[in-house]
Structure 1
Amino acid sequence: MERRKFLAAVSLVGMAGAMSPAELLATEKQAFPRVNKPKNDREYWWKLLYKIANPVTENLANGTLKQNMLVEKSPKFDNRSIHVTYLEAVGRTFAGIAPWLALPDDASEESTFRKKMRNDVLQGLTRCFEPSSPDQLNFKTDHQPIVDAAYLAQTFLRAPKALWEPLNEPTKERIIAAFKSLRNRKPFNSNWLLFGAITEAFLLSVGEEPDAERLNKGPKKLNEWYKGDGCYGDGPNFAFDYYNSFVIHPMMVDTMKVMMDKGLVSQKEYELALSRMVRYAVGQERMISPEGTFPPIGRSITYRTGAFQALSQVALLGELPDAVKPAQVRSALTQVKKNMYDVPGTFDKNGWLLLGFVGHDPDIADYYTSTGSLYMATLSFLPLGLAEDDEFWSAPKEDWTAKKAWSSQQFPKDYHVDY
């Protein structure tokens, strides 16, 4: 039996080298471009992102997300409806893949798979907002949809021409109605205020009348809770975890950008939010150890590399300070991804993410965590929205700060900031 499995595997490997991406997609249940050794970091990143996201995007396009998606929940899972897990998977996955899908098509293998995933996303969005769809997403009950509507709104803000404008009018109208339906539920007095704010910011960006209180309250309260040196409080108190990256900095900056464009805040106010995110990102890069690991601190560590969304977004925006070279961020995050995702127990047999930090460990999942929650992991892949010839991808590998520091190389000093 084992010999037959080995021969079958060898046969598939040989076939993969001669088959086109389209043929591979038709052959494998889990569509994923196979390669023994990526030729560069970018190839490793996009193929890993495809592996993580494809079970969500392809099943949603086929109308089989709820039928096929693994649903694993924390042993401490509370009394919220487990059905929110599907919207979590969609919103979080789409927010992470949006910049990559926004790139123009070309003749590369990467573009072939990117185009396939973009088409799946557009088809899936149409399906999951149809009233008769088996994959219709729930926005009408529970508070959790406030969270993941926000990530879906962020998706459209990150890739409006690729993922919003091509949608047909009925789908757009249903999405807008779904977002407005959340107004009968108030976000909690925490980072959740930004979920309400960014959803309203998206509505404003497409010409809808926003709920002004909901839009303004998020940035206003977070500014009141700012603790200094790039860190916001999550509510009045400071939390030593990764929510400044999971939520606060990226959604604060993206919301303020829309508000600035619409004349609701000044450029100076937007740039202050951006400067604070850059400062936070500098600290994130320094927190990556010489080995490419990071501390498992605080809530939601099952979101894995989603902890580096802020650093990834600063790189995507081209806002890294001179002392932090794009290549060192790429090299550091590549090693983190290898340490985290190239480990047994990260995925189930059908490619769904499993609860855990490194490998499978349901016991570290929080009371609100289920399979859909884990797709926050895609948020560390934002620099794939940069072109292949951008310095982030084209510059030679470079040691990151901690690796330099612990191998007696010169590295820049770090100082706090007062803004």
Structure 2
Amino acid sequence: MNKQLKLVLCTLFLWGGIFHVNVTAQKNKEPKPAVTTGQQDREYWSNLLYKMASPVIFNLANNTLRKNMPVEVPPGAKPDFYKKVTHLEAVGRTMAGVAPWLALPDDDTKEGKMRKELRSALLKGIVNAVDPASPDYLNFRTESQPIVDAAYMAQAFLRAPKALWEPLDSLTKRRVAEEFKALRTRTGAYNNWLLFAGINEAFLMSIGEQADPVRIQYAQNKIKEWYVGDGWYSDGPSFSMDYYNSYVIHPMLVDFFKVLLAKNRVKAEDYDLALKRMIRYSEFSERIISPEGTYPAFGRSSTYRTAAFQALGQVALMEKLPEYIQPAQVRCAVSAVMHRMYDQCNNFDSNGWLVLGFCGSQPMIADSYTSTGSLYMATLGFLPLGLPADNKFWTDPAADWTSKKAWNSQSFKKDYHVDY
């Protein structure tokens, strides 16, 4: 080996050593994430949901939703079609996400005042949404997409009837019912859309209107038929590996069956089985959250962000978590996701509207059916805010979730297939 080569190698080793020392030192300097209390987590969740929902709700209340909401669409798409449907998307999806939170009683806390402000504005907005003379009269009457977003509005009314339905005046209630009945002129895709049509009819049934029994029966039979096992449903005849079991199927099916059970249209064991399957699916949802608060971005509609954890959140809200999953570990796991997604990526534009993307602005990943209003599915990840602040979900000390235990040499529950 000549002297010049030796000099080069020695220099490389020296610089390599310095680089390693510097990187190691930098890592050691990085502060470890602070362990938060449940009260701090709740404050973070409520502030974030308020931030997310405010542009939709306050603009609807002020009759400025169409005027002020941007209509961002996938690259190359023309916004004309989306402008027909995106505003109902934003409203229905936001309503479904905030409903359990707004159903809590008023109090004098900062959070309580935010809830009251949003609820009052939303009730005013619902009046505008179904008033044909309003600039923000929402489109239930044309295109197929309104079948979907009326279903989320229906789910909101079912989740918070005393907060969002009963206070409405009789004219507005009648108008809402007429808009829902107008959806019957159209059909949608042969998949989870059957459930949308079914829950729209179930909502009508719940308010004393005549429901279409065919739409209810068809949704009930087909969704049950598409169960593939171990807590997973196929979204139509073909199985898709994505988050639609959480975006739609489990939470909406359980809410759908709850109405049918109350009206003696299904047996208690049908409802119990649907709930049991959602609980099983929630185990997977909890396990996929990494120790760092990330989760896999696979399947359709990744721009729906935290809606991927709607089923887990609904099981927590119903206080039906499996024995080995403590409420605090769900709180901490989902909080980690929110911090990773909403603190480290800018998911909002300068006026506070959600932007197309998964973690930040990524319009190229948006599906062809996605526009600004679609993104408010993200509010569905906040359902546990419907648990009061003194519930153990919020009061128990911080706890590690399953993957954090697994990757830190802690004991964790082994997982096995279930047969129901």
State TM-score, norm by structure 2. Answer: 0.90
CA contact (8 A) 2:246 2:310 kept: yes
2:248 partner amino acid: V
Q: Which residue matches 1:311?
A: 312
1:160-180 CA-to-partner distances (Å, cap 9, x unmatched) read 000000000110001000000
1:254-312 CA-to-partner distances (Å, cap 9, x unmatched) read 00010011101000000000000000000110010111100001000000001111001
1:258 partner amino acid: V
CA contact (8 A) 2:38 2:397 kept: no
1:358-379 CA-to-partner distances (Å, cap 9, x unmatched) read 0101000000000000000000
Determine helix, strand or coil for the equivalent of 2:228: strand
Q: Which residue matches 2:114?
A: 113
Which 4+ residue blocks in structure 1 deviate beyond 6 angstroms?
A: none
**Is residue 206 of structure 1 aligned with residue 207 of structure 2?**
yes
CA contact (8 A) 1:75 1:367 kept: no
1:327-384 CA-to-partner distances (Å, cap 9, x unmatched) read 0000000010011111343100110000010010100000000000000000000000
Matched residues in 2 for 1:273 and 1:77: separation?
Answer: 38
Matched residues in 2 for 1:44 and 1:313: separation?
Answer: 19
Matched residues in 2 for 1:283 and 1:307: separation?
Answer: 11
Q: Which residue matches 2:274?
A: 273
Q: Which residue matches 1:255?
A: 256
Alpha-carbon deviation of 1:157? 0.2
Matched residues in 2 for 1:199 and 1:77: separation?
Answer: 30
1:110-146 CA-to-partner distances (Å, cap 9, x unmatched) read 1011100000000000112111100000011000000
Q: Which residue matches 2:59?
A: 59
Alpha-carbon deviation of 1:237? 1.1
Q: Which residue matches 2:41?
A: 41
Alignment of 1:1-400 (within 5 A): 40-75=40-75, 77=77, 80-400=81-401
2:68 partner amino acid: N
1:54-97 CA-to-partner distances (Å, cap 9, x unmatched) read 00001111111011111101115478443200000000000000
Tell me the matched-pair count. 383
Identity of aligned residues (%): 60
Alpha-carbon deviation of 1:188? 1.7
Cα separation, partners in 2 of 1:259 and 1:243, compared to 1, 3 Å: same
Matched residues in 2 for 1:291 and 1:344: separation?
Answer: 15
CA contact (8 A) 2:38 2:395 kept: no
1:326 partner amino acid: P
Q: Which residue matches 1:33?
A: none
Matched residues in 2 for 1:189 and 1:55: separation?
Answer: 33
Q: Which residue matches 2:24?
A: none
Matched residues in 2 for 1:246 and 1:217: separation?
Answer: 20
State TM-score, norm by structure 1. Answer: 0.90
Cα separation, partners in 2 of 1:233 and 1:344, compared to 1, 3 Å: closer
2:115 partner amino acid: R
Cα separation, partners in 2 of 1:134 and 1:127, compared to 1, 3 Å: same
Determine helix, strand or coil for the equivalent of 1:399: coil
CA contact (8 A) 2:39 2:394 kept: no
Matched residues in 2 for 1:371 and 1:80: separation?
Answer: 13
2:139 partner amino acid: N
Alpha-carbon deviation of 1:403? 0.1
Matched residues in 1 for 2:83 and 2:344: separation?
Answer: 27
CA contact (8 A) 1:197 1:255 kept: yes
Matched residues in 2 for 1:77 and 1:156: separation?
Answer: 33
Matched residues in 1 for 2:46 and 2:38: separation?
Answer: 10
Determine helix, strand or coil for the equivalent of 2:83: coil
Determine helix, strand or coil for the equivalent of 1:40: helix
Q: Which runs of 5+ in 2 are unaligned?
A: 1-36
Matched residues in 2 for 1:52 and 1:340: separation?
Answer: 13
Q: Decide which structure has the larger Cα Rg and report it.
A: 2
Q: Which residue matches 2:5?
A: none
